[in-house]
Amino acid sequence: MHLREDGIPPAAARRLGASPFLIGRSVHSEDAARASDGADYVITGPVFETVSKAGHPGLGVDGFRRIARSAACPVWAIGGMSQGQASALTNAGAAGLAGIGAFIPPGPATDIVSSVQHLVGNLRFVFDSPASLP
C-alpha cells in the first residue's frame, strides 16, 4: 500500500489491512519523513526538476540527504532521475531510485528492453557495491 503524505498515517493504515503487507508513503519534507512511523519505506521527491511535476523545484541531493536522515525507514528518490545520479543519491542515503521516463529511451521496443537490462545491471552494481554506500 502506498500512502500520500497528507493521507492516513502508516501506523493507522497497518491496522486496516491483513498482515503482512508493505506500506510506503510519499514525503516531501523532513517533518513528513519523521511522521512516517510504521512505514516500510518512503519515497521523496521530486529530487530534480521533472516535466511530470512542473512548477515543483527539485530538492537536490542535499535536500534529499536531509530527508533521508530524518526517516526511520529506507528512502527512495523520485523525480528527474537518470542513471548518472545513482551514485550521488546512494551516497546521500537512497535505498533506491524510482522513475519512468528518464530510464526509457525513445525508440523501438527492442531498444527499450536492451536499455533497461543494461540500466538494471548498472544500478545493481551501484546499490550492491559496498564502496558506493555511505
Residue-wise pLDDT tens digits, 75-107: 999 988 876 788 889 889 999 888 766 656 666
What's the domain range around 7? 2-132
The CATH number linked to 52 is: 3.20.20.70
Across all residues in the chain, what is the average pLDDT? 82
Q: 80 Cβ partners below 8 Å, 6+ apart?
A: 45, 46, 47, 48, 49, 50, 58, 102
CA distance 62 to 19: 35
Give 132 or 91, the one with higher predicted confidence: 91
Q: What is the pLDDT of residue 3?
A: 93
Which triple of cell numbers denotes residue 30?
A: 523532513
Domain total of the chain: 1
Question: 32: closest CA among 23, 50, 44, 21?
Answer: 44
Digit-coded pLDDT (tens) for 39-71 = 999 999 899 987 777 787 899 999 999 999 999
CA distance 81 to 94: 12
